[in-house]
Amino acid sequence: MLNIVIFGAPGSGKGTQSEKLVQRYGLHHVSTGEILREEIASGTDLGNLADAYMSKGELVPDCIVIEMLDGLIRKNSHVKGFIFDGFPRTVPQGEALSRMLSKHGEDVNLVISLEVADEELIDRLLKRGQISGRSDDNRETIEARLQVYYRQTSPLKDFYRERGVLREIMGVGTIDEIFIAIEKEIDRLIT
Ligand code: AP5
């Protein structure tokens, strides 16, 4: 299996690059944000609970997302590998991911961290907010999401750096330029 975490602040391009990675490498894309938005749209109990956090830009509690991921990994243990987009988002989630993968004799092979300055992130998300209908793409919530990223999520970079799997990539430029840089890191690993 090839297990890649695509990591970065809100708006850094995780979803955009994940779609291209799925096409190129045939990996199974897991976006916790997408799964939670589908739950909200379906009006499930999980969705209602998640909405209370997501609309404020806060993280959904670890125990909820970890349980969600555990089921998903078990159900898809036959795939070539995963692209984890938006998960893990805290160190306990990172530890849980390794534990879950280790049950299948696997671990995270590569963490691609997309590096983008805050002004660019805010600009991208405000622009998307004009058409996306996402309840968290407004200035106040974007700023809250960025604070949450620096406080709760960015410590994962050291977590993965210590494990020797972190690669930091400039997330600015055209989508194709960034993808080529990511591809280089993956191809170095698999060839
Ligand atoms: P999630 O859905 O994961 O959102 P996010 O991390 O805030 O990321 P975004 O989807 O906004 O951005 P992205 O990095 O994917 O960039 P994208 O490619 O879309 O999470 C939402 C919420 O769910 C969280 O706040 C939390 O509440 C909850 N949640 C999710 N996972 C959780 C977890 N594990 N634990 C707890 N809670 C969790 O691009 C953004 C925009 O920029 C697009 O318009 C795109 O077209 C554009 N763009 C992309 N690349 C470029 C480029 N190179 N140049 C110019 N524009 C670009």
Taking a C-beta distance cutoff of 8 angstroms, is the pair 10, 121 a contact? yes
Question: Does residue 27 belong to any structural domain of this protein?
Answer: yes
Question: Does residue 189 belong to any structural domain of this protein?
Answer: no
Taking a C-beta distance cutoff of 8 angstroms, is the pair 157, 166 a contact? yes
Distance 132 CA to ligand 1 centre (A): 12
Question: Does residue 150 belong to any structural domain of this protein?
Answer: yes
Other beta carbons within 10 angstroms of residue 136's beta carbon come to 21
Active site residue 99: no
Taking a C-beta distance cutoff of 8 angstroms, is the pair 56, 141 a contact? yes
Domains in the chain, number: 1
Give the residue numbers spanning the domain of 172. Answer: 2-183
Q: How confident is the model at residue 102, as a pLDDT?
A: 95
Question: Does residue 42 belong to any structural domain of this protein?
Answer: yes
| CATH label of the domain that carries residue 8 | 3.40.50.300
Question: Does residue 128 belong to any structural domain of this protein?
Answer: yes
pLDDT in tens, the chain (191 residues): 999 999 999 999 999 999 999 999 999 999 999 999 999 999 999 999 999 999 999 999 999 999 999 999 999 989 999 999 999 999 999 999 999 999 999 999 999 999 999 999 999 999 999 998 888 999 999 999 999 999 999 999 999 999 999 999 999 999 999 999 999 999 999 98
| DSSP annotation of 170 | E
Question: Does residue 108 belong to any structural domain of this protein?
Answer: yes
Ligand 1 atom showing the smallest separation from residue 16 Cα = 18
Distance 3 CA to ligand 1 centre (A): 19
Question: Does residue 188 belong to any structural domain of this protein?
Answer: no
Active site residue 89: yes
Q: How confident is the model at residue 56, as a pLDDT?
A: 96
Block residue for tokens 């407004």:
138
User: What distance, in Å, lies between the first and last C-alpha atoms of the chain?
Assistant: 14
| DSSP annotation of 152 | I
What gap in Å lies between CA 142 and CA 138, rounded to an integer? 6
Q: Which two tokens stand for residue 51?
A: 């909405």
Other beta carbons within 10 angstroms of residue 103's beta carbon come to 11
Among 14, 49, 113, residue to substitute to test ligand 1 (most atoms within 8 Å of Cβ) = 14
Question: Does residue 24 belong to any structural domain of this protein?
Answer: yes
Residue whose C-alpha is closest to residue 9's, from 176, 97, 131, 123: 123
Block residue for tokens 């938005």:
37
Q: Which two tokens stand for residue 70?
A: 């555990």
